[in-house]
Structure 1
Amino acid sequence: MNGQTVVPPELNKRMIRIFKEFHEHPELCHQESWTTKRIKAELTRIGIPLLDFPIKSGVVAELGTDGPIIALRADIDALPLQEESGLPYQSKIAGVAHACGHDFHIMALLGAAKLLKTQESQLKGRIRFIFEPGEERHVGAVEMIAAGVLKDVKAISGIHNMPTLPVGTVGIKTGKLMASNDNFDVTITGIGSHAAMPQTGRDPIVATASIIMLLQTIVSRNISPSDRLVLTVGQIRGGHTNNVIPETAGFKGTIRAFSATDRKLAKKRFYEIVNQTAAAYDQSAAISWDQGPAPVDNNEDVTDIIQHAAETFMDVVPAIPSNADDDFATYEEYVPGCYAFMGSQGQSNLHHPDMIANPDGLQYAAKYHEQAALALLNALNHHESFERD
């Protein structure tokens, strides 16, 4: 359906123009001050009241009349990455870029707010707009929920742009869509020595190398071949020069899983392998474990309602589950929700220096939010609540 106009042309032009402003001004987790002010200014211009929650950055606003409350969520932070897209509106902040398309998410939700504002008198309930900071470090949802943004919310909907899908297409599925995320940082401490006299020390580089190789057996020998779990070591550190065995070495990485059982088992085996292998080399291990969000798990009722609404104006395809994570999952642990992949086809995938979220997809994303909100409110006015999966 790409090529058609699904929002008023003047709104589409404004969305694209302001989207480029957000792209030029990316901000990292807990630093989203410019972004927060710009979102507030646009919501105020539209005439949507801001809600007062105890949050340092990010925005919550609400529109509508008495009745059930549903929420629409967008994340707003950027990545510590140097942009190499060559865009005329490339990031103006050195070493920071919207390489995950959160600028696209912000503008799509602002566009939806404008669409819904024109229908406010006909709404049978309220729509809460959540602009969440700190998603990339998976702290934003936890902070927003602790501040109370889900109070009285009956359902939540959100999107993530997907450069591998064409503009005008959305990927939707019930159940598990994205993986859980656990990150680790391990330091192995041995005894340093001259490289030509290794017997006088305890080489942490050799121990670290052995541990990294053994960790791969968690997937190959502990997880069922029918399940999905990824363990990746993304950084190795150790040593200062060629002829000195260092005192310490270490590595960082991540584990992604779709099953709570597999996630628990992987952590147990990780600790066993790291600690016992280090001991076998007569060394010690220190493990720092960062537990991220659970898998994104879409509610069947909410997803079916939104999918039917989306099919009226854009192409809907089955979403392919992703081993990436998103803390939208944290909201879904409290209220039924649906997260979808919105087509933003570009030249590179997410988190790449030249990743581009195609602004032609904004009108579809804004319309999707609008239709999802209207469909959920309509359903809630006919049913008391959605069934939890």
Structure 2
Amino acid sequence: MVETAPVTDELDRYMIEQFKQFHRHPELCDQEKWTTAKITAELHKMAISILDFPIQSGLVAQIGPGDGPTIALRADIDALPLQEETDLPYKSEISGAAHACGHDFHIAALLGAAKLLKERESQLSGNVRLIFEPGEERHVGAREMIHAGILKDVLAISGIHNMPTIPVGTVGMKIGKLMASNDNFDVTITGVGSHAAMPQTGRDPIVAVANTIMTLQTIVSRNISPSDRLVLTVGAISGGHVNNVIPESAGFKGTIRTFSEADRKLAKRRFYEIVNATASAYGQTATITWDQGPAPVDNSEAITNLIANQASQFMKVTDAIPSNADDDFAEYEQLIPGCYAFMGSKGQANLHHPDFIANPEGLKYAAKFHEQAALALLAHFNQKDKVE
């Protein structure tokens, strides 16, 4: 059993104040300059070393003696391009940006864990690398950080995502695939414009788009096993400007989520076949832009069991329900074993809603979860080295 460090009222107040400050100042992907500077200043106050990596925003810090095993804790720091719709006294002060996914919660919790770990740095049996990752919402942050070399010498990684469907004081955990892969598409179908009253003189791309969208749903209903999970959603349609003109082009964009690599490949192949064949059938052409996002979050059995056992000593651990949302934490797990968990932040709205707010009462549990995950992982790898 690893000795647990208490989360004092003072630390809880510190994290809540940090949470409110980050909530007021949300920054979008690759624009996290104020956020990075603020985190850096807080870590400097704690006398925690900032590591030098070639990254534009975000940062990496480390606590520990320098020798021994190294493990990592990760928090994402970017916001969403949404207008916040709450009456909170600390609501977003940045027009068109909001922490509607709770990354403000993630930053504050990792800063709290940093305080806990720094206080016992002389007792650490290895190093804890703190990753404050930019650009998660556009699934570019982890790739940029990995390319910069931040995982050098790291043996395992742990992270959390606040979950408003789970009560405060509870954490949802799952071995294996927890979150889906993410592929995004943007399609333009080009025909021939004409007068709306004379459709025979053109090639109507709106009709082609409508039929394409409907046919794409057969990928789920007729190509994927009913026992598998795959979602294909068209989230935006564009085309035309007035009621009496058939436009030259029209388009749509959306996303595909799945938990199976085989289904992921099949869905992409069928998508291209259907889009191109339908456009051709209407005498038109299709242009497809495909954005391949992260693979599914896939938790290590050994690491997840280790952290779950530790977490059960101070909070309730339940089986997590897999989510069709994605997270580029998966990029780290493709290289090293990891555990991603859903931290209870029960609130009034779900993630990505304009009125979403992570419940700051959950910060005390999130900080302790980070701290205890780090201690348990260091103990595990030190023991493993002794056995080997």
TM-score range normalised by the length of the shorter chain: over 0.9
Structure 1 runs of 4+ aligned residues shifted over 6 Å read: none
Q: For residue 47 of structure 1, report the CA deviation from its aligned partner.
A: 1.1
Taking the aligned partners of 1:279 and 1:96, their CA distance within structure 2 comes to 41
Are residues 1:368 and 2:369 paired?
yes
Partner amino acid for 1:29?
Answer: C
Q: Assess if the C-alpha contact under 8 Å between 1:6 and 1:363 holds in 2.
A: no
Per the alignment, do residues 147 and 40 of structure 1 end up closer, same or farther by CA in structure 2, a change over 3 Å counting?
same
Taking the aligned partners of 2:235 and 2:374, their CA distance within structure 1 comes to 39
Q: State the partner residue of 1:261.
A: 262
Partner amino acid for 2:103?
Answer: H
For residues 161-189 of structure 1, the C-alpha deviation after alignment (integer angstroms, 9 at most, x for no partner) is 00000100000010000000000000000
Taking the aligned partners of 2:6 and 2:315, their CA distance within structure 1 comes to 9
Any residues of structure 2 matched to 1:92-107 within 5 Å, and which? 92-107=93-108
Partner amino acid for 1:335?
Answer: I
For residues 279-311 of structure 1, the C-alpha deviation after alignment (integer angstroms, 9 at most, x for no partner) is 000000000000000000000000000000100
Q: State the partner residue of 2:55.
A: 55
**So what's the TM-score if we normalise by structure 1?**
0.97
Any residues of structure 2 matched to 1:124-163 within 5 Å, and which? 124-163=125-164
Q: State the partner residue of 2:193.
A: 192
Any residues of structure 2 matched to 1:1-389 within 5 Å, and which? 6-65=6-65, 66-384=67-385
Taking the aligned partners of 1:92 and 1:199, their CA distance within structure 2 comes to 52
Taking the aligned partners of 1:88 and 1:366, their CA distance within structure 2 comes to 24
Taking the aligned partners of 1:19 and 1:348, their CA distance within structure 2 comes to 18
Q: Please list every run of 5 or more consecutive structure 1 residues that lacks an aligned counterpart in the other structure.
A: none
Q: Assess if the C-alpha contact under 8 Å between 1:154 and 1:385 holds in 2.
A: no
Taking the aligned partners of 1:196 and 1:271, their CA distance within structure 2 comes to 32
Q: For residue 314 of structure 1, report the CA deviation from its aligned partner.
A: 0.3
Taking the aligned partners of 1:212 and 1:257, their CA distance within structure 2 comes to 19
Partner amino acid for 1:125?
Answer: G
SS of equivalent residue, structure 1 residue 382: helix
Taking the aligned partners of 1:167 and 1:85, their CA distance within structure 2 comes to 21
SS of equivalent residue, structure 2 residue 137: coil
Taking the aligned partners of 1:88 and 1:301, their CA distance within structure 2 comes to 43
Q: For residue 18 of structure 1, report the CA deviation from its aligned partner.
A: 1.2
Q: For residue 6 of structure 1, report the CA deviation from its aligned partner.
A: 4.9
Per the alignment, do residues 300 and 49 of structure 1 end up closer, same or farther by CA in structure 2, a change over 3 Å counting?
same
Taking the aligned partners of 1:208 and 1:191, their CA distance within structure 2 comes to 13
SS of equivalent residue, structure 2 residue 80: coil
Partner amino acid for 1:49?
Answer: S
For residues 1-37 of structure 1, the C-alpha deviation after alignment (integer angstroms, 9 at most, x for no partner) is xxxx950110100110111000000000010000000
Identity, % of aligned positions: 74
For residues 54-74 of structure 1, the C-alpha deviation after alignment (integer angstroms, 9 at most, x for no partner) is 000001000111100000000
**So what's the TM-score if we normalise by structure 2?**
0.97
Q: Please list every run of 5 or more consecutive structure 2 residues that lacks an aligned counterpart in the other structure.
A: none
Partner amino acid for 1:42?
Answer: E
Q: For residue 385 of structure 1, report the CA deviation from its aligned partner.
A: 11
Number of residue pairs matched by the alignment: 382
SS of equivalent residue, structure 1 residue 180: coil
